[in-house]
Amino acid sequence: MNTSPVAAGSDRDPGAHLTAKRVHIGKYGLDVGPLGHLAAERARLAALSWQSFDARPLGATIGAELRGVDLTSDLPDEVIDEIRRALHAYKVIFFRDQPLTAAQHVAFARRFGDLEIHPFIPSNTGQPELVRFEKSADVGGYENGWHHDVTWRERPSMGAVLHALRVPQNGGDTLFADMCAAYDGLDDATREQIDDLVAVHDYAQVFGHVVQKEKRAEMRATYPTVEHPVACTHDATGRRHLYVNRFFTSHVVGFDEAESTALIDRLARRAEIAEYQCRFQWEDHSVGFWDNRAVQHYAASDYWPDVRVMERASIVGERPRR
């Protein structure tokens, strides 16, 4: 007697006929089924090998933990070049047990380009290139939203190196989303719609409240709103990726407010698709290095009132291009 459970009226798994096709549940605007467009990139990453370290991939197309490299040492140029190639491949890379001093942190990040000085977040380290995120019972986090960093700059960050100095026993993970996969997963009509659009980015949506009233005109003159393509071409890989977020993107040029808000929200929500993500659980002296063009990130604010102390060095990028 066959006692295997089956769906009512069928002896097949209800997903057996789907292969790599998606099914739309219209009532809720929900798409289910395998994301087949990830397969080629997933296979390509799985086949990579490296000379200077071992890589353990985390997500389907994003994230890898690199083992066998010491970031506290003065690494040879060929190792730095290979780390750069790994960053472009995996889009975010992680290292464990890297007890960097502030000076070593800055020195490592500077191997990849000039470093930013953040005008709104203090360094508190004696190293102005490092911003310090020190959360406790008295200082709450507000990073828990999907975003690219500093898209309000004319030349936003190419990447960022984040060092965990003290983390809670659990909680405080950071999630990363592959915005190349997010672009590739759009339907043809949406890609055609957005490929020539530009959006305005503005620091004031998040940081406006920290600027003293008498300094607002000066800061606005220094950091005016900027326009970037809604979909960009990555400088190093040539891949297309989405480049709007709900932290800093104000509006889409040429759209009325309602249409603009709806489009930005719809595109930004592509980061929320779990298959595009990886998640990293920090330990003391873990280091994360992400490509700020290709990924968005989300710092989970689930550890209050515990203490979480992180320092970040951000690398100056080029102006985003269509």
- The closest of 127, 136, 135, 77 to 104, measured between CA atoms, is 127
- Catalytic hit among 148, 163, 308, 312: 312
Radius of gyration of the chain (CA): 21
In the Cβ-directed half-sphere of 129, how many Cα atoms lie within 13 Å?
21
The two structure tokens encoding residue 278:
């990886």
147 counts as catalytic: yes
β-sheet bridge partners, residue 55: 66
- Catalytic hit among 153, 240, 285, 297: 297
CA distances from 213 to 119, 191, 217, 221, 226 (A): 15, 41, 8, 14, 22
- The closest of 93, 82, 17, 94 to 49, measured between CA atoms, is 82
- Catalytic hit among 88, 147, 240, 241: 147
279 counts as catalytic: no
- Catalytic hit among 149, 184, 202, 291: 149
Give yes or no for a cis peptide into 14 (omega within 30° of 0): no
105 counts as catalytic: no
CA distances from 52 to 39, 43, 73, 287, 297 (A): 27, 21, 14, 17, 27
Q: Which residues are catalytic?
A: 147, 149, 297, 312
